[in-house]
Structure 1
Amino acid sequence: MELLTALLLSGWPVLSTCFPRRYHFVEGPLNWTEAQTYCRRTYTDLAAAENSEEMKQLMDTVSSADHSSEFWLGLRTNNVFQWSDRFDGDGYRKWRSYEPDWIEEELCVRTENDIGWWDTSCMEQYPFICYTGTRLEPEFIAVKEPMTWFAAQSYCRENFTDLAKVWNNELHQKVQNLVPFGSSAWIGLSRPPLVWSDGTEFSLSWDGARPRGVSCGAASPKEPDSLDFQPCETRRAFVCYSRPAPVWRRVVKLRLSPADSVELNDPAVKADLLRKARLELKCKLKIQI
Protein backbone atom coordinates (compact mmCIF):
# COMPACT_ATOMS: atom_id res chain seq x y z
CA MET A 1 0.00 0.00 0.00
CA GLU A 2 1.47 3.31 -1.08
CA LEU A 3 2.14 6.05 1.41
CA LEU A 4 -0.49 8.74 1.53
CA THR A 5 0.90 12.26 1.08
CA ALA A 6 -0.96 15.33 2.24
CA LEU A 7 0.07 18.77 0.97
CA LEU A 8 -0.45 21.98 2.89
CA LEU A 9 0.08 25.29 1.02
CA SER A 10 1.44 28.06 3.22
CA GLY A 11 4.02 30.10 1.26
CA TRP A 12 6.18 29.01 -1.76
CA PRO A 13 7.56 31.47 -4.35
CA VAL A 14 5.47 31.45 -7.51
CA LEU A 15 6.24 33.43 -10.65
CA SER A 16 3.34 34.28 -12.93
CA THR A 17 2.98 36.25 -16.17
CA CYS A 18 -0.69 36.85 -15.34
CA PHE A 19 -0.06 39.66 -12.86
CA PRO A 20 -1.65 42.94 -14.05
CA ARG A 21 0.52 45.71 -15.40
CA ARG A 22 1.21 48.88 -13.44
CA TYR A 23 1.76 51.97 -15.56
CA HIS A 24 4.23 54.78 -14.91
CA PHE A 25 4.10 58.14 -16.70
CA VAL A 26 7.45 59.78 -17.53
CA GLU A 27 7.66 63.39 -18.73
CA GLY A 28 10.75 62.82 -20.90
CA PRO A 29 10.89 63.99 -23.55
CA LEU A 30 12.75 61.16 -25.29
CA ASN A 31 12.54 59.56 -28.72
CA TRP A 32 10.91 56.12 -28.90
CA THR A 33 14.17 54.13 -28.70
CA GLU A 34 15.48 56.18 -25.77
CA ALA A 35 12.13 55.75 -24.01
CA GLN A 36 12.26 52.00 -24.54
CA THR A 37 15.77 51.85 -23.06
CA TYR A 38 14.71 53.93 -20.05
CA CYS A 39 11.66 51.74 -19.35
CA ARG A 40 13.63 48.51 -19.62
CA ARG A 41 16.28 49.78 -17.22
CA THR A 42 13.88 51.32 -14.72
CA TYR A 43 10.72 49.18 -14.92
CA THR A 44 9.84 46.34 -17.30
CA ASP A 45 9.27 47.87 -20.74
CA LEU A 46 7.41 50.58 -22.63
CA ALA A 47 3.66 50.42 -22.05
CA ALA A 48 1.72 47.59 -23.65
CA ALA A 49 -1.99 46.83 -23.35
CA GLU A 50 -3.66 43.52 -24.19
CA ASN A 51 -7.27 44.66 -23.81
CA SER A 52 -9.49 47.71 -23.44
CA GLU A 53 -9.38 47.53 -19.62
CA GLU A 54 -5.58 47.85 -19.60
CA MET A 55 -5.73 50.66 -22.13
CA LYS A 56 -8.19 52.55 -19.91
CA GLN A 57 -5.88 52.06 -16.92
CA LEU A 58 -2.98 53.38 -19.01
CA MET A 59 -4.94 56.47 -20.06
CA ASP A 60 -6.06 57.10 -16.48
CA THR A 61 -2.40 57.06 -15.41
CA VAL A 62 -1.54 59.74 -17.95
CA SER A 63 -4.59 61.86 -17.12
CA SER A 64 -3.79 61.75 -13.40
CA ALA A 65 -0.38 63.25 -14.23
CA ASP A 66 -2.17 66.24 -15.86
CA HIS A 67 -0.62 65.41 -19.22
CA SER A 68 -2.85 66.24 -22.17
CA SER A 69 -0.64 65.89 -25.26
CA GLU A 70 0.56 62.82 -27.12
CA PHE A 71 2.92 60.32 -25.52
CA TRP A 72 4.79 57.21 -26.66
CA LEU A 73 3.41 53.72 -26.17
CA GLY A 74 5.49 50.57 -26.64
CA LEU A 75 4.00 50.06 -30.10
CA ARG A 76 5.77 50.16 -33.44
CA THR A 77 5.56 48.75 -36.92
CA ASN A 78 7.15 45.34 -37.21
CA ASN A 79 9.66 45.01 -40.03
CA VAL A 80 10.72 41.51 -38.98
CA PHE A 81 9.53 38.62 -41.12
CA GLN A 82 8.94 35.35 -39.27
CA TRP A 83 8.13 31.81 -40.32
CA SER A 84 4.63 30.56 -39.62
CA ASP A 85 5.86 28.21 -36.87
CA ARG A 86 8.01 31.03 -35.40
CA PHE A 87 11.27 29.20 -36.13
CA ASP A 88 13.58 31.74 -37.73
CA GLY A 89 16.58 29.54 -38.57
CA ASP A 90 19.66 31.64 -39.29
CA GLY A 91 17.72 34.49 -40.88
CA TYR A 92 18.03 33.04 -44.40
CA ARG A 93 16.18 35.15 -47.00
CA LYS A 94 15.97 34.94 -50.78
CA TRP A 95 14.40 38.27 -51.77
CA ARG A 96 14.22 39.32 -55.40
CA SER A 97 15.70 42.73 -56.29
CA TYR A 98 14.05 45.70 -54.53
CA GLU A 99 12.09 43.44 -52.17
CA PRO A 100 10.76 43.67 -49.55
CA ASP A 101 9.44 47.18 -50.18
CA TRP A 102 7.59 47.50 -46.84
CA ILE A 103 4.27 48.59 -48.31
CA GLU A 104 1.72 48.73 -45.50
CA GLU A 105 -0.55 45.89 -46.66
CA GLU A 106 2.18 43.61 -48.05
CA LEU A 107 2.71 41.37 -45.04
CA CYS A 108 2.99 37.86 -46.55
CA VAL A 109 5.58 36.26 -48.81
CA ARG A 110 5.29 34.33 -52.06
CA THR A 111 8.04 32.76 -54.10
CA GLU A 112 8.13 32.95 -57.90
CA ASN A 113 10.10 30.11 -59.46
CA ASP A 114 13.77 31.17 -59.72
CA ILE A 115 13.17 34.91 -59.41
CA GLY A 116 12.99 34.93 -55.61
CA TRP A 117 10.64 36.08 -52.86
CA TRP A 118 8.12 38.95 -52.88
CA ASP A 119 6.20 40.55 -50.02
CA THR A 120 2.57 40.66 -51.10
CA SER A 121 -0.88 41.36 -49.70
CA CYS A 122 -1.99 38.34 -47.67
CA MET A 123 -5.44 38.52 -49.28
CA GLU A 124 -4.13 37.69 -52.75
CA GLN A 125 -4.81 34.09 -53.78
CA TYR A 126 -1.97 31.78 -54.88
CA PRO A 127 -1.13 28.08 -54.77
CA PHE A 128 1.11 27.26 -51.84
CA ILE A 129 3.75 24.92 -50.44
CA CYS A 130 3.24 22.98 -47.18
CA TYR A 131 5.76 20.89 -45.31
CA THR A 132 5.67 17.82 -43.10
CA GLY A 133 8.32 15.72 -41.37
CA THR A 134 11.02 17.06 -39.07
CA ARG A 135 12.72 20.41 -39.12
CA LEU A 136 15.99 18.83 -40.23
CA GLU A 137 14.36 16.62 -42.86
CA PRO A 138 11.22 18.38 -44.11
CA GLU A 139 9.11 17.07 -46.96
CA PHE A 140 7.47 19.72 -49.14
CA ILE A 141 4.02 19.34 -50.68
CA ALA A 142 2.62 21.60 -53.41
CA VAL A 143 -1.08 22.49 -53.23
CA LYS A 144 -2.39 23.84 -56.54
CA GLU A 145 -5.66 25.37 -55.30
CA PRO A 146 -5.24 29.17 -54.93
CA MET A 147 -5.98 30.50 -51.44
CA THR A 148 -5.19 33.55 -49.34
CA TRP A 149 -2.09 33.23 -47.16
CA PHE A 150 -4.18 32.71 -44.02
CA ALA A 151 -6.37 30.05 -45.64
CA ALA A 152 -3.23 28.32 -46.93
CA GLN A 153 -1.71 28.39 -43.44
CA SER A 154 -4.84 26.78 -41.97
CA TYR A 155 -4.90 24.12 -44.70
CA CYS A 156 -1.25 23.19 -44.13
CA ARG A 157 -1.69 23.02 -40.36
CA GLU A 158 -4.80 20.84 -40.65
CA ASN A 159 -3.37 18.42 -43.23
CA PHE A 160 0.41 18.53 -42.79
CA THR A 161 2.62 20.54 -40.38
CA ASP A 162 2.65 24.14 -41.60
CA LEU A 163 3.40 26.36 -44.56
CA ALA A 164 6.86 25.78 -45.98
CA LYS A 165 9.83 27.28 -44.17
CA VAL A 166 13.18 27.68 -45.91
CA TRP A 167 16.46 28.39 -44.13
CA ASN A 168 19.16 27.37 -46.63
CA ASN A 169 19.77 27.19 -50.37
CA GLU A 170 19.15 23.44 -50.56
CA LEU A 171 15.64 23.78 -49.13
CA HIS A 172 15.00 26.84 -51.26
CA GLN A 173 15.76 24.86 -54.40
CA LYS A 174 13.45 22.03 -53.32
CA VAL A 175 10.61 24.49 -52.89
CA GLN A 176 11.37 26.24 -56.17
CA ASN A 177 11.22 22.91 -58.03
CA LEU A 178 7.57 22.59 -56.97
CA VAL A 179 6.59 25.99 -58.42
CA PRO A 180 5.87 25.97 -62.18
CA PHE A 181 7.95 28.41 -64.22
CA GLY A 182 6.40 31.86 -64.20
CA SER A 183 4.05 30.99 -61.34
CA SER A 184 3.98 31.95 -57.67
CA ALA A 185 3.22 30.10 -54.45
CA TRP A 186 2.86 31.11 -50.82
CA ILE A 187 5.54 30.09 -48.35
CA GLY A 188 5.29 30.41 -44.55
CA LEU A 189 6.96 33.81 -44.15
CA SER A 190 5.03 36.86 -42.94
CA ARG A 191 5.21 39.77 -40.55
CA PRO A 192 2.55 41.10 -38.16
CA PRO A 193 1.81 44.76 -38.94
CA LEU A 194 2.32 45.92 -35.35
CA VAL A 195 4.12 44.64 -32.28
CA TRP A 196 4.42 45.75 -28.67
CA SER A 197 7.93 46.45 -27.40
CA ASP A 198 7.82 43.47 -25.00
CA GLY A 199 6.67 41.05 -27.72
CA THR A 200 3.01 40.99 -26.66
CA GLU A 201 0.69 40.31 -29.60
CA PHE A 202 -1.21 43.40 -30.72
CA SER A 203 -4.94 42.67 -30.59
CA LEU A 204 -6.62 46.04 -30.03
CA SER A 205 -8.85 47.81 -32.53
CA TRP A 206 -8.27 51.53 -32.94
CA ASP A 207 -9.15 54.65 -34.90
CA GLY A 208 -6.76 57.11 -36.42
CA ALA A 209 -3.69 56.97 -38.65
CA ARG A 210 -2.42 53.71 -40.07
CA PRO A 211 1.32 53.02 -39.86
CA ARG A 212 3.53 53.41 -42.92
CA GLY A 213 7.15 52.38 -43.09
CA VAL A 214 9.03 52.41 -39.80
CA SER A 215 6.87 54.35 -37.36
CA CYS A 216 6.05 54.27 -33.65
CA GLY A 217 2.76 54.38 -31.79
CA ALA A 218 1.56 57.35 -29.75
CA ALA A 219 -1.70 58.14 -27.96
CA SER A 220 -3.38 61.12 -26.35
CA PRO A 221 -5.73 61.41 -23.34
CA LYS A 222 -7.88 63.70 -25.49
CA GLU A 223 -8.62 60.81 -27.87
CA PRO A 224 -8.39 57.63 -25.77
CA ASP A 225 -9.78 55.40 -28.55
CA SER A 226 -7.27 56.53 -31.17
CA LEU A 227 -3.66 55.72 -31.93
CA ASP A 228 -1.28 57.73 -34.05
CA PHE A 229 1.91 56.63 -35.79
CA GLN A 230 4.80 59.02 -36.17
CA PRO A 231 8.55 59.04 -36.88
CA CYS A 232 10.27 57.28 -34.00
CA GLU A 233 12.84 60.09 -33.67
CA THR A 234 10.19 62.52 -32.34
CA ARG A 235 10.79 63.43 -28.69
CA ARG A 236 7.85 63.22 -26.31
CA ALA A 237 6.65 61.95 -22.92
CA PHE A 238 6.04 58.21 -22.55
CA VAL A 239 4.55 55.49 -20.36
CA CYS A 240 6.38 52.48 -18.93
CA TYR A 241 4.91 49.46 -17.19
CA SER A 242 5.98 47.13 -14.40
CA ARG A 243 4.63 43.96 -12.80
CA PRO A 244 3.81 43.60 -9.07
CA ALA A 245 6.00 41.32 -6.97
CA PRO A 246 5.11 37.62 -7.05
CA VAL A 247 3.03 35.98 -4.32
CA TRP A 248 4.94 33.70 -1.94
CA ARG A 249 3.68 30.31 -0.89
CA ARG A 250 5.33 27.31 0.77
CA VAL A 251 4.65 23.62 0.32
CA VAL A 252 4.88 21.23 3.27
CA LYS A 253 4.63 17.45 2.77
CA LEU A 254 3.29 15.17 5.48
CA ARG A 255 3.65 11.42 4.95
CA LEU A 256 1.20 9.00 6.57
CA SER A 257 2.08 5.32 6.93
CA PRO A 258 -0.44 2.59 5.94
CA ALA A 259 -1.10 2.08 9.66
CA ASP A 260 -2.40 5.64 9.93
CA SER A 261 -5.96 4.96 8.87
CA VAL A 262 -7.53 8.44 8.84
CA GLU A 263 -10.45 10.27 7.27
CA LEU A 264 -8.97 13.40 5.69
CA ASN A 265 -12.38 15.11 5.54
CA ASP A 266 -12.73 14.88 9.35
CA PRO A 267 -12.33 18.43 10.81
CA ALA A 268 -10.34 17.07 13.74
CA VAL A 269 -7.92 15.33 11.36
CA LYS A 270 -7.52 18.51 9.31
CA ALA A 271 -6.73 20.50 12.46
CA ASP A 272 -4.16 17.93 13.52
CA LEU A 273 -2.50 17.99 10.08
CA LEU A 274 -2.31 21.79 10.23
CA ARG A 275 -0.70 21.63 13.69
CA LYS A 276 1.88 19.07 12.48
CA ALA A 277 2.62 21.16 9.41
CA ARG A 278 3.32 24.23 11.51
CA LEU A 279 5.63 22.27 13.76
CA GLU A 280 7.43 20.98 10.66
CA LEU A 281 7.88 24.52 9.38
CA LYS A 282 9.28 25.70 12.71
CA CYS A 283 11.73 22.84 12.84
CA LYS A 284 12.97 22.60 9.26
CA LEU A 285 12.45 26.03 7.76
CA LYS A 286 13.38 27.93 10.93
CA ILE A 287 10.63 30.51 10.55
CA GLN A 288 8.15 31.85 13.08
CA ILE A 289 4.56 30.72 12.53
Structure 2
Amino acid sequence: MVATDNFQKTSEPAQFNLAAYLNERQKLCDTSLDQSIPIIYPEKIYEAMRYSLLAGGKRVRPILCLATCEMIGGTVDMAMATACAVEMLHTMSLIHDDLPAMDNDDYRRGKLTNHKVYGEDIAILAGDGLLALAFEFVATKTPQNVPIERTLQVIARLAQALGAAGLVGGQVVDLESEGKSDTSLETLNFIHNHKTAALLEACVVCGGIIAGASLEDVQKLTRYSQNIGLAFQIIDDILDITATQEQLGKTAGKDLKAEKVTYPSLWGIEESRTKAKELVDQACAELESFGEKAVPLQAIAHFIINRNH
Protein backbone atom coordinates (compact mmCIF):
# COMPACT_ATOMS: atom_id res chain seq x y z
CA MET A 1 0.00 0.00 0.00
CA VAL A 2 1.35 3.45 -0.91
CA ALA A 3 0.54 6.28 1.49
CA THR A 4 0.60 10.04 0.98
CA ASP A 5 0.28 13.06 3.25
CA ASN A 6 -3.41 13.27 2.39
CA PHE A 7 -4.46 9.68 2.97
CA GLN A 8 -3.27 7.47 5.77
CA LYS A 9 -1.92 4.01 5.04
CA THR A 10 -4.35 1.14 5.49
CA SER A 11 -3.72 -2.58 5.56
CA GLU A 12 -6.25 -4.02 3.09
CA PRO A 13 -6.15 -5.01 0.33
CA ALA A 14 -2.38 -4.99 -0.17
CA GLN A 15 -2.44 -5.04 -3.98
CA PHE A 16 -4.66 -1.97 -4.31
CA ASN A 17 -3.09 1.51 -4.20
CA LEU A 18 -5.81 3.28 -2.25
CA ALA A 19 -3.91 6.55 -1.89
CA ALA A 20 -3.42 6.88 -5.65
CA TYR A 21 -7.05 5.95 -6.30
CA LEU A 22 -8.41 8.48 -3.81
CA ASN A 23 -6.13 11.27 -4.99
CA GLU A 24 -7.06 10.70 -8.63
CA ARG A 25 -10.78 10.64 -7.88
CA GLN A 26 -10.51 13.64 -5.58
CA LYS A 27 -9.00 15.65 -8.43
CA LEU A 28 -11.82 14.61 -10.77
CA CYS A 29 -14.42 15.63 -8.21
CA ASP A 30 -12.67 18.91 -7.39
CA THR A 31 -12.54 19.86 -11.07
CA SER A 32 -16.24 19.15 -11.58
CA LEU A 33 -17.22 20.98 -8.40
CA ASP A 34 -15.13 24.00 -9.36
CA GLN A 35 -16.91 24.16 -12.71
CA SER A 36 -20.35 23.72 -11.15
CA ILE A 37 -20.62 27.22 -9.65
CA PRO A 38 -19.49 30.17 -11.77
CA ILE A 39 -19.47 33.54 -10.03
CA ILE A 40 -22.20 35.80 -11.42
CA TYR A 41 -24.38 38.55 -9.96
CA PRO A 42 -25.03 38.71 -7.02
CA GLU A 43 -21.43 37.68 -6.55
CA LYS A 44 -21.50 37.36 -2.76
CA ILE A 45 -23.81 34.34 -2.66
CA TYR A 46 -21.85 32.42 -5.31
CA GLU A 47 -18.58 33.27 -3.55
CA ALA A 48 -20.02 32.00 -0.26
CA MET A 49 -21.24 28.78 -1.86
CA ARG A 50 -17.85 28.20 -3.49
CA TYR A 51 -15.98 29.10 -0.29
CA SER A 52 -17.34 26.08 1.58
CA LEU A 53 -17.78 23.71 -1.37
CA LEU A 54 -14.14 24.14 -2.45
CA ALA A 55 -12.63 24.41 1.03
CA GLY A 56 -10.98 21.00 0.79
CA GLY A 57 -12.05 17.70 2.26
CA LYS A 58 -11.32 14.14 1.17
CA ARG A 59 -14.43 13.92 -1.09
CA VAL A 60 -15.23 10.51 0.40
CA ARG A 61 -18.94 10.80 -0.40
CA PRO A 62 -18.67 11.60 -4.11
CA ILE A 63 -15.88 9.03 -4.49
CA LEU A 64 -18.15 6.40 -2.92
CA CYS A 65 -20.83 7.30 -5.45
CA LEU A 66 -18.43 6.96 -8.40
CA ALA A 67 -16.89 3.72 -7.10
CA THR A 68 -20.29 2.10 -6.62
CA CYS A 69 -21.45 3.07 -10.10
CA GLU A 70 -18.32 1.49 -11.59
CA MET A 71 -18.65 -1.65 -9.47
CA ILE A 72 -22.20 -2.21 -10.77
CA GLY A 73 -21.05 -1.66 -14.38
CA GLY A 74 -21.50 2.05 -15.01
CA THR A 75 -18.98 4.80 -15.69
CA VAL A 76 -17.62 7.85 -13.90
CA ASP A 77 -19.37 10.13 -16.39
CA MET A 78 -22.74 8.55 -15.64
CA ALA A 79 -22.41 9.26 -11.90
CA MET A 80 -20.46 12.53 -11.77
CA ALA A 81 -23.51 14.80 -11.57
CA THR A 82 -24.86 12.82 -8.62
CA ALA A 83 -21.41 12.68 -7.03
CA CYS A 84 -21.19 16.49 -7.18
CA ALA A 85 -24.72 16.78 -5.84
CA VAL A 86 -23.98 14.68 -2.75
CA GLU A 87 -20.96 16.86 -1.98
CA MET A 88 -23.12 19.97 -2.36
CA LEU A 89 -25.67 18.50 0.04
CA HIS A 90 -22.96 17.46 2.50
CA THR A 91 -21.44 20.95 2.35
CA MET A 92 -24.86 22.51 2.93
CA SER A 93 -25.27 20.38 6.06
CA LEU A 94 -21.84 21.49 7.34
CA ILE A 95 -22.58 25.18 6.78
CA HIS A 96 -25.85 24.92 8.68
CA ASP A 97 -24.40 22.62 11.35
CA ASP A 98 -21.69 25.17 12.14
CA LEU A 99 -24.17 28.02 12.73
CA PRO A 100 -24.51 29.47 16.26
CA ALA A 101 -28.03 28.03 16.50
CA MET A 102 -26.64 24.54 15.90
CA ASP A 103 -23.08 23.47 16.83
CA ASN A 104 -21.67 27.02 16.86
CA ASP A 105 -18.25 26.24 15.42
CA ASP A 106 -15.64 28.73 14.19
CA TYR A 107 -13.55 26.37 12.02
CA ARG A 108 -14.23 23.77 9.36
CA ARG A 109 -11.58 21.97 7.27
CA GLY A 110 -8.95 24.21 8.84
CA LYS A 111 -10.64 27.44 7.72
CA LEU A 112 -13.08 29.87 9.27
CA THR A 113 -16.64 28.62 8.96
CA ASN A 114 -18.93 30.20 6.39
CA HIS A 115 -20.85 32.38 8.84
CA LYS A 116 -17.59 33.71 10.31
CA VAL A 117 -16.57 34.95 6.85
CA TYR A 118 -19.89 35.99 5.30
CA GLY A 119 -22.22 36.40 8.27
CA GLU A 120 -25.04 34.17 9.46
CA ASP A 121 -27.54 35.50 6.95
CA ILE A 122 -25.42 34.75 3.88
CA ALA A 123 -24.28 31.41 5.35
CA ILE A 124 -27.88 30.26 5.66
CA LEU A 125 -28.57 31.36 2.10
CA ALA A 126 -25.36 29.72 0.82
CA GLY A 127 -26.53 26.43 2.30
CA ASP A 128 -29.96 26.92 0.75
CA GLY A 129 -28.34 27.70 -2.59
CA LEU A 130 -26.27 24.51 -2.50
CA LEU A 131 -29.35 22.49 -1.56
CA ALA A 132 -31.28 23.76 -4.57
CA LEU A 133 -28.32 23.48 -6.93
CA ALA A 134 -27.73 19.83 -5.99
CA PHE A 135 -31.12 18.73 -7.27
CA GLU A 136 -30.89 20.98 -10.33
CA PHE A 137 -27.49 19.46 -11.08
CA VAL A 138 -28.76 15.87 -10.99
CA ALA A 139 -31.77 16.75 -13.12
CA THR A 140 -29.88 18.71 -15.79
CA LYS A 141 -26.34 17.29 -15.84
CA THR A 142 -26.93 13.54 -15.64
CA PRO A 143 -26.02 12.16 -19.10
CA GLN A 144 -28.79 11.10 -21.46
CA ASN A 145 -27.52 7.52 -21.49
CA VAL A 146 -28.86 7.19 -17.94
CA PRO A 147 -32.57 6.25 -18.15
CA ILE A 148 -34.76 9.04 -16.78
CA GLU A 149 -36.45 6.74 -14.24
CA ARG A 150 -33.04 6.12 -12.63
CA THR A 151 -32.44 9.86 -12.34
CA LEU A 152 -35.86 10.27 -10.71
CA GLN A 153 -35.01 7.52 -8.21
CA VAL A 154 -31.76 9.32 -7.37
CA ILE A 155 -33.57 12.62 -6.76
CA ALA A 156 -36.11 10.90 -4.50
CA ARG A 157 -33.38 9.05 -2.55
CA LEU A 158 -31.35 12.20 -1.99
CA ALA A 159 -34.41 14.13 -0.82
CA GLN A 160 -35.35 11.37 1.61
CA ALA A 161 -31.80 11.22 3.00
CA LEU A 162 -31.90 14.94 3.75
CA GLY A 163 -35.42 15.42 5.10
CA ALA A 164 -37.16 14.68 8.37
CA ALA A 165 -36.76 10.96 7.67
CA GLY A 166 -33.00 11.44 7.35
CA LEU A 167 -30.46 14.12 8.21
CA VAL A 168 -32.93 16.72 9.48
CA GLY A 169 -34.60 14.22 11.79
CA GLY A 170 -31.24 13.08 13.13
CA GLN A 171 -30.16 16.66 13.76
CA VAL A 172 -33.35 17.40 15.71
CA VAL A 173 -32.82 14.45 18.06
CA ASP A 174 -29.12 15.39 18.35
CA LEU A 175 -30.02 18.91 19.48
CA GLU A 176 -32.60 17.58 21.92
CA SER A 177 -30.04 15.20 23.41
CA GLU A 178 -27.42 17.82 24.27
CA GLY A 179 -26.69 17.91 27.97
CA LYS A 180 -28.65 14.71 28.63
CA SER A 181 -26.27 12.21 30.20
CA ASP A 182 -28.95 9.51 30.14
CA THR A 183 -29.14 9.40 26.33
CA SER A 184 -29.51 5.73 25.41
CA LEU A 185 -27.54 3.74 22.85
CA GLU A 186 -30.78 3.35 20.90
CA THR A 187 -31.18 7.14 20.69
CA LEU A 188 -27.53 7.60 19.79
CA ASN A 189 -27.88 5.06 16.98
CA PHE A 190 -31.00 6.83 15.73
CA ILE A 191 -29.15 10.16 15.62
CA HIS A 192 -26.21 8.88 13.63
CA ASN A 193 -28.12 6.46 11.40
CA HIS A 194 -30.03 9.52 10.26
CA LYS A 195 -27.59 12.41 10.64
CA THR A 196 -24.48 10.69 9.28
CA ALA A 197 -25.28 7.33 7.72
CA ALA A 198 -28.35 8.42 5.71
CA LEU A 199 -26.40 10.63 3.30
CA LEU A 200 -23.56 8.11 3.04
CA GLU A 201 -26.14 5.46 2.21
CA ALA A 202 -27.63 7.72 -0.47
CA CYS A 203 -24.17 8.28 -2.01
CA VAL A 204 -23.58 4.56 -2.39
CA VAL A 205 -27.09 3.45 -3.33
CA CYS A 206 -27.57 6.27 -5.85
CA GLY A 207 -24.29 5.34 -7.53
CA GLY A 208 -25.65 1.82 -7.89
CA ILE A 209 -29.07 2.94 -9.14
CA ILE A 210 -27.49 5.04 -11.89
CA ALA A 211 -25.68 1.95 -13.17
CA GLY A 212 -28.84 -0.18 -13.07
CA ALA A 213 -28.35 -2.09 -9.79
CA SER A 214 -30.83 -4.89 -9.14
CA LEU A 215 -33.04 -4.92 -6.03
CA GLU A 216 -30.71 -7.51 -4.48
CA ASP A 217 -27.70 -5.30 -5.27
CA VAL A 218 -29.41 -2.27 -3.71
CA GLN A 219 -30.04 -4.25 -0.52
CA LYS A 220 -26.35 -5.21 -0.34
CA LEU A 221 -25.29 -1.61 -0.99
CA THR A 222 -27.70 -0.41 1.69
CA ARG A 223 -26.25 -2.72 4.32
CA TYR A 224 -22.68 -1.87 3.28
CA SER A 225 -23.29 1.86 3.50
CA GLN A 226 -25.23 1.76 6.76
CA ASN A 227 -22.38 -0.13 8.38
CA ILE A 228 -19.64 2.20 7.13
CA GLY A 229 -21.80 5.22 8.04
CA LEU A 230 -22.01 4.13 11.65
CA ALA A 231 -18.32 3.20 11.71
CA PHE A 232 -17.52 6.65 10.29
CA GLN A 233 -19.38 8.31 13.17
CA ILE A 234 -17.76 6.14 15.82
CA ILE A 235 -14.33 7.17 14.55
CA ASP A 236 -15.46 10.82 14.44
CA ASP A 237 -16.44 10.54 18.11
CA ILE A 238 -13.04 9.06 18.96
CA LEU A 239 -11.17 11.74 17.02
CA ASP A 240 -13.11 14.47 18.81
CA ILE A 241 -11.41 13.21 21.97
CA THR A 242 -7.99 12.15 20.71
CA ALA A 243 -7.13 14.50 17.81
CA THR A 244 -5.98 18.10 17.85
CA GLN A 245 -7.79 21.00 16.21
CA GLU A 246 -5.06 21.05 13.55
CA GLN A 247 -5.66 17.38 12.73
CA LEU A 248 -9.44 17.75 12.70
CA GLY A 249 -9.59 21.05 10.86
CA LYS A 250 -12.34 22.03 13.30
CA THR A 251 -12.69 22.62 17.02
CA ALA A 252 -11.68 19.59 19.08
CA GLY A 253 -13.53 18.47 22.19
CA LYS A 254 -16.90 19.86 21.07
CA ASP A 255 -18.87 16.80 22.18
CA LEU A 256 -17.51 16.96 25.73
CA LYS A 257 -18.17 20.69 25.94
CA ALA A 258 -21.75 20.23 24.71
CA GLU A 259 -22.19 17.34 27.16
CA LYS A 260 -23.14 14.97 24.36
CA VAL A 261 -23.30 11.25 24.88
CA THR A 262 -20.99 9.60 22.32
CA TYR A 263 -19.91 6.07 21.53
CA PRO A 264 -16.64 6.42 23.48
CA SER A 265 -18.55 7.79 26.47
CA LEU A 266 -20.73 4.66 26.44
CA TRP A 267 -18.17 2.04 25.43
CA GLY A 268 -14.74 3.59 25.95
CA ILE A 269 -12.24 4.26 23.16
CA GLU A 270 -10.89 0.74 22.65
CA GLU A 271 -14.28 -0.96 22.51
CA SER A 272 -15.48 1.78 20.18
CA ARG A 273 -12.59 1.02 17.82
CA THR A 274 -13.46 -2.68 17.99
CA LYS A 275 -17.11 -1.97 17.17
CA ALA A 276 -16.09 0.21 14.21
CA LYS A 277 -13.85 -2.55 12.85
CA GLU A 278 -16.66 -5.11 13.19
CA LEU A 279 -18.99 -2.82 11.23
CA VAL A 280 -16.41 -2.40 8.46
CA ASP A 281 -15.81 -6.15 8.28
CA GLN A 282 -19.56 -6.70 7.94
CA ALA A 283 -19.75 -3.99 5.28
CA CYS A 284 -16.98 -5.56 3.21
CA ALA A 285 -18.60 -8.98 3.47
CA GLU A 286 -21.72 -7.58 1.80
CA LEU A 287 -19.70 -6.92 -1.36
CA GLU A 288 -17.90 -10.25 -1.68
CA SER A 289 -20.16 -11.38 -4.53
CA PHE A 290 -18.83 -8.52 -6.70
CA GLY A 291 -15.29 -9.92 -6.59
CA GLU A 292 -12.41 -7.68 -7.68
CA LYS A 293 -14.80 -4.90 -8.70
CA ALA A 294 -15.57 -4.35 -4.99
CA VAL A 295 -11.95 -3.72 -3.99
CA PRO A 296 -12.15 0.13 -4.06
CA LEU A 297 -15.27 0.19 -1.88
CA GLN A 298 -13.80 -2.34 0.52
CA ALA A 299 -10.55 -0.38 0.74
CA ILE A 300 -12.43 2.87 1.39
CA ALA A 301 -14.31 1.16 4.22
CA HIS A 302 -11.01 0.25 5.88
CA PHE A 303 -9.68 3.76 5.25
CA ILE A 304 -12.63 5.20 7.18
CA ILE A 305 -11.62 3.49 10.42
CA ASN A 306 -7.88 4.07 9.97
CA ARG A 307 -8.04 7.83 9.35
CA ASN A 308 -6.49 10.19 11.87
CA HIS A 309 -8.23 13.39 10.81
Same fold (TM over 0.5): no
Structure whose alpha-carbon radius of gyration is higher: 1
When normalised by structure 1's length, the TM-score is 0.20
Select the structure with the greater relative contact order (CA < 8 A; seq sep ≥ 6): 1
Q: Which has the higher helix share?
A: 2
When normalised by structure 2's length, the TM-score is 0.19
